[in-house]
Structure 1
Amino acid sequence: MIRIIKATMMENQRGWYLLYCKGKEEVRALTNLKNQGIDSFFPTMKVEKVVRKKLTCVDVVIFPNYLFVEIDAQTANFNSIRSTRGVIDFVKCGANYTKVPTSLITELKSKQLLRDKAPNETSLFNHGDKVVIQDGAFKGIEAIYQCKDGLERSILLINLINKTAEMSIANAEIKNKPEA
């Protein structure tokens, strides 16, 4: 019975805290904290972007420059954590370190797990969006986005000489039509 109470007390002392990291060094901080045996986490999401004229999925940090760490406030070496490469300091409210609810971290982790397992269905354009062709033989022509045609191309409906034609165009050659 006493062991159970002690274990419960020990668990209650552990908590999640918020760290502020150097720009784009969340992964570096995460790696160095894991090397110290500290559980840390930063949520990401997959975003589809055009990189070098190709549509690719990229992991983007949801909270840039921030990292969550789980530590025991009674036994943790806060100076060691603060001096970890990639970390600037703990986020504080006055003199107190900002503690993050465990329920929030649990929810962020579960949503991240679901996003990572789900097939990537994000797209730069939605069915029916009005787009303008930016390059090639049809430069300047308005079209209606239909669907993806692989990673690098999309199918568009184009009105040519009063006849609607469906054609496949490179993603790098189209952009959303600005609203008038």
Structure 2
Amino acid sequence: MNAWYLLYCKPKSELRAQQNLHLQQIQTYLPMVRIKKKVRGKDVVESAPLFPNYLFARFDPTVTSVARIKSTRGIASIVDCREQMTPLCHLVFALRRQEKTLGIIDITESAWTTESKENRADYEFSPGDKVQFVEGPFTALEGVFEKHSSNERCMILLEVLGKMQLMKVPREQLMPAPLAAKDM
């Protein structure tokens, strides 16, 4: 089953692990936050992992070798309960929905700015992906992709009046949300 799993990384190796998993075409999620530090008497703002030494990865253990994931540079182990790996999709979805509130910077493999309709139509969204509306009444708003409804429509979670609402929208109105780091 293709799901999100939690990986334990070697100390200060989250970015290295994320990059190496990306080279293996494995989707990752590394929530980052901005922190203030004093360096040589000056205040410096840096980004740091929200969960030090941990990284989320989305893969199917029946397709992708678990041994290959464990042997990836920067990875120490896969967090699991007993003998079976535990998918954490609900945690990743919750974090993605609250990124702005928590001040999370999402470092993903690619930043999408403006894309043509043809390029947007080719993109395959996965459950939990942050999306941005580029057309229609919700332009510039962000939501979370839930599932495909049909070839031309998608189900999106969108915060409306403080509540998460599930909406069916045309696929052409969506593109992956840009990196939060660019918004700051």
Structure 2 residues not aligned, in runs of 5+: 106-179
Q: Which TM-score applies when normalising by structure 1?
A: 0.54
Q: Which segments of structure 1 move beyond 2 Å, counting only runs of 4 or more?
A: 109-120
The match for 1:60 is 48
Distance 2:31 2:2 in 1: 20
The match for 2:19 is 31
Q: In the TM superposition, what is the alpha-carbon distance from 1:113 to its structure 2 partner?
A: 5.2
The match for 1:156 is none
Superimposed CA distance per residue, residues 121-166 of structure 1 (whole angstroms, 9 cap, x where no aligned partner):
xxxxxxxxxxxxxxxxxxxxxxxxxxxxxxxxxxxxxxxxxxxxxx
The match for 1:161 is none
The match for 1:82 is 70
RMSD: 2.1
Distance 1:113 1:42 in 2: 15
Q: In the TM superposition, what is the alpha-carbon distance from 1:97 to its structure 2 partner?
A: 1.1
Secondary structure in structure 1 of the residue aligned to 2:64: coil
The match for 1:106 is 93
Superimposed CA distance per residue, residues 73-130 of structure 1 (whole angstroms, 9 cap, x where no aligned partner):
32111111110000011112111112212x321232343356355987xxxxxxxxxx
Q: Read off the aligned partner of 1:105 and give its amino acid letter.
A: V
Superimposed CA distance per residue, residues 2-36 of structure 1 (whole angstroms, 9 cap, x where no aligned partner):
xxxxxxxxxxx210011111000000000000000
Secondary structure in structure 2 of the residue aligned to 1:108: helix
Q: Read off the aligned partner of 1:67 and give its amino acid letter.
A: L
Distance 1:75 1:91 in 2: 18
Distance 2:99 2:45 in 1: 15
Q: In the TM superposition, what is the alpha-carbon distance from 1:53 to its structure 2 partner?
A: 1.2
Secondary structure in structure 1 of the residue aligned to 2:98: helix
Deviates more, 1:110-119 or 1:86-95: 110-119
Distance 2:96 2:22 in 1: 17
Q: Read off the aligned partner of 1:111 and give its amino acid letter.
A: Q
Among 59, 82, 91, which residue is 1:71 paired with?
59
| Alignment check: 8 A CA contact 1:17 1:70 kept | yes
Secondary structure in structure 2 of the residue aligned to 1:43: strand
Is the radius of gyration larger for structure 1 or structure 2?
Answer: 1
Distance 1:113 1:18 in 2: 22
Distance 2:46 2:62 in 1: 38
Distance 2:58 2:33 in 1: 21
**Cα gap change, 1:60 to 1:70, in 2 (>3 Å):** same
Structure 1 residues not aligned, in runs of 5+: 1-12, 121-180
| Alignment check: 8 A CA contact 1:47 1:58 kept | yes
